[in-house]
Amino acid sequence: MPRGFMTESGARPDFAMLYNMREHTEAGYMARTEANVRDSDATLIVGDAGSGGSRDTKEFCGKHKKPFTVLPWRSGRPIPLDAASDFRHWLAEREIRVLNVAGDRESKEPGIHDTVFAFLLASLAG
Protein backbone atom coordinates (compact mmCIF):
# COMPACT_ATOMS: atom_id res chain seq x y z
CA MET A 1 0.00 0.00 0.00
CA PRO A 2 1.21 3.54 -0.57
CA ARG A 3 2.63 5.35 2.44
CA GLY A 4 -0.11 6.13 4.92
CA PHE A 5 -2.17 3.16 3.67
CA MET A 6 -3.90 5.61 1.33
CA THR A 7 -6.87 4.47 -0.70
CA GLU A 8 -9.40 6.40 -2.78
CA SER A 9 -11.55 6.72 0.31
CA GLY A 10 -8.72 7.84 2.60
CA ALA A 11 -6.23 6.18 4.92
CA ARG A 12 -6.91 2.54 5.81
CA PRO A 13 -4.25 1.46 8.32
CA ASP A 14 -6.61 -1.35 9.38
CA PHE A 15 -5.66 -3.08 6.09
CA ALA A 16 -2.34 -4.00 7.71
CA MET A 17 -4.06 -6.35 10.16
CA LEU A 18 -7.02 -7.33 7.97
CA TYR A 19 -5.03 -8.30 4.88
CA ASN A 20 -1.44 -8.52 6.09
CA MET A 21 -0.60 -5.54 3.89
CA ARG A 22 2.58 -3.56 4.21
CA GLU A 23 2.95 0.17 3.93
CA HIS A 24 5.32 1.30 1.19
CA THR A 25 7.93 3.91 2.02
CA GLU A 26 6.74 6.12 -0.86
CA ALA A 27 3.37 7.80 -1.20
CA GLY A 28 2.92 7.35 -4.96
CA TYR A 29 1.36 4.43 -6.74
CA MET A 30 4.22 3.79 -9.17
CA ALA A 31 6.64 2.58 -6.47
CA ARG A 32 3.91 0.40 -4.99
CA THR A 33 3.07 -1.02 -8.41
CA GLU A 34 6.68 -1.94 -9.07
CA ALA A 35 7.05 -3.50 -5.60
CA ASN A 36 3.90 -5.58 -6.16
CA VAL A 37 5.35 -6.95 -9.42
CA ARG A 38 8.81 -7.50 -7.97
CA ASP A 39 7.52 -9.26 -4.83
CA SER A 40 5.20 -11.66 -6.65
CA ASP A 41 5.74 -14.65 -8.93
CA ALA A 42 3.39 -13.40 -11.66
CA THR A 43 0.70 -10.81 -12.39
CA LEU A 44 -2.90 -11.02 -13.55
CA ILE A 45 -4.01 -7.77 -15.21
CA VAL A 46 -7.78 -7.39 -15.35
CA GLY A 47 -9.42 -4.90 -17.69
CA ASP A 48 -7.90 -2.69 -20.36
CA ALA A 49 -4.28 -3.76 -20.88
CA GLY A 50 -3.66 -0.46 -22.65
CA SER A 51 -4.57 1.78 -19.73
CA GLY A 52 -1.76 3.75 -18.11
CA GLY A 53 -1.47 1.67 -14.96
CA SER A 54 -1.66 -1.60 -16.88
CA ARG A 55 1.04 -0.44 -19.29
CA ASP A 56 3.26 0.45 -16.32
CA THR A 57 2.56 -2.93 -14.72
CA LYS A 58 3.53 -4.74 -17.94
CA GLU A 59 6.74 -2.72 -18.15
CA PHE A 60 7.63 -3.66 -14.57
CA CYS A 61 6.91 -7.32 -15.37
CA GLY A 62 9.42 -7.08 -18.21
CA LYS A 63 11.98 -5.27 -16.09
CA HIS A 64 11.76 -7.90 -13.34
CA LYS A 65 11.31 -10.83 -15.75
CA LYS A 66 7.95 -11.80 -14.28
CA PRO A 67 5.20 -13.45 -16.32
CA PHE A 68 1.83 -11.77 -16.70
CA THR A 69 -1.46 -12.51 -18.34
CA VAL A 70 -4.38 -10.25 -19.21
CA LEU A 71 -8.06 -10.92 -18.56
CA PRO A 72 -9.88 -8.42 -20.81
CA TRP A 73 -12.97 -7.00 -19.11
CA ARG A 74 -15.05 -3.83 -19.15
CA SER A 75 -17.59 -2.58 -16.65
CA GLY A 76 -21.06 -3.90 -17.41
CA ARG A 77 -19.82 -6.98 -19.22
CA PRO A 78 -20.31 -10.53 -17.92
CA ILE A 79 -17.69 -12.16 -15.73
CA PRO A 80 -15.36 -14.06 -18.13
CA LEU A 81 -15.60 -17.38 -16.30
CA ASP A 82 -14.89 -19.30 -19.52
CA ALA A 83 -11.24 -18.25 -19.11
CA ALA A 84 -10.93 -19.70 -15.59
CA SER A 85 -9.66 -23.12 -16.71
CA ASP A 86 -6.96 -21.63 -18.95
CA PHE A 87 -5.89 -19.30 -16.15
CA ARG A 88 -5.72 -22.21 -13.68
CA HIS A 89 -3.41 -24.07 -16.10
CA TRP A 90 -1.31 -20.93 -16.60
CA LEU A 91 -0.79 -20.70 -12.83
CA ALA A 92 0.05 -24.40 -12.51
CA GLU A 93 2.52 -24.45 -15.41
CA ARG A 94 4.48 -21.63 -13.82
CA GLU A 95 4.09 -22.89 -10.25
CA ILE A 96 2.78 -19.50 -9.13
CA ARG A 97 2.61 -19.16 -5.35
CA VAL A 98 2.25 -15.37 -5.01
CA LEU A 99 -0.03 -13.68 -7.54
CA ASN A 100 -0.18 -9.92 -8.07
CA VAL A 101 -3.64 -8.87 -9.26
CA ALA A 102 -3.70 -5.54 -11.08
CA GLY A 103 -6.25 -3.46 -12.90
CA ASP A 104 -8.30 -0.32 -12.78
CA ARG A 105 -9.84 0.84 -9.55
CA GLU A 106 -13.51 0.32 -8.75
CA SER A 107 -14.31 4.02 -9.29
CA LYS A 108 -13.05 3.78 -12.88
CA GLU A 109 -14.46 0.32 -13.72
CA PRO A 110 -17.50 -0.30 -11.48
CA GLY A 111 -17.91 -4.00 -10.73
CA ILE A 112 -14.24 -4.92 -11.17
CA HIS A 113 -13.94 -6.06 -7.54
CA ASP A 114 -16.81 -8.54 -7.82
CA THR A 115 -15.61 -9.69 -11.25
CA VAL A 116 -12.08 -10.40 -10.06
CA PHE A 117 -13.35 -12.10 -6.91
CA ALA A 118 -15.68 -14.41 -8.87
CA PHE A 119 -13.03 -15.13 -11.51
CA LEU A 120 -10.38 -16.06 -8.94
CA LEU A 121 -12.83 -18.25 -7.01
CA ALA A 122 -13.81 -20.08 -10.20
CA SER A 123 -10.16 -20.43 -11.25
CA LEU A 124 -8.87 -21.70 -7.95
CA ALA A 125 -11.84 -23.95 -7.13
CA GLY A 126 -11.42 -26.04 -10.29
Number of domains in the chain: 2
Are residues 55 and 29 located together in one domain of the fold?
no
What span, in angstroms and rounded, lies between the C-alpha atoms of 100 and 35? Answer: 10
User: Which contacts of 7-12 are long-range, i.e. CB under 8 A and separated by 24 or more positions?
Assistant: 8/105, 8/106, 8/107
Q: What is the pTM of this model?
A: 0.89
**Domain containing 77: what range?**
43-126
The pLDDT tens digits of the residues spanning 1-19 come to: 788 888 888 899 999 899 8
Are residues 56 and 112 located together in one domain of the fold?
yes
Are residues 20 and 33 located together in one domain of the fold?
yes
The pLDDT tens digits of the residues spanning 77-119 come to: 998 999 999 999 999 999 999 999 999 889 999 999 999 999 9
Q: What is the mean pLDDT of the chain?
A: 92
- The half-sphere exposure of 112 on its side-chain side, counting CA atoms within 13 A, is 18
Quote the pLDDT of residue 126.
66
The pLDDT tens digits of the residues spanning 10-49 come to: 899 999 899 888 888 887 789 999 999 999 999 999 999 8
What span, in angstroms and rounded, lies between the C-alpha atoms of 116 and 3? Answer: 25
Are residues 21 and 69 located together in one domain of the fold?
no
Are residues 50 and 33 located together in one domain of the fold?
no
Are residues 34 and 58 located together in one domain of the fold?
no
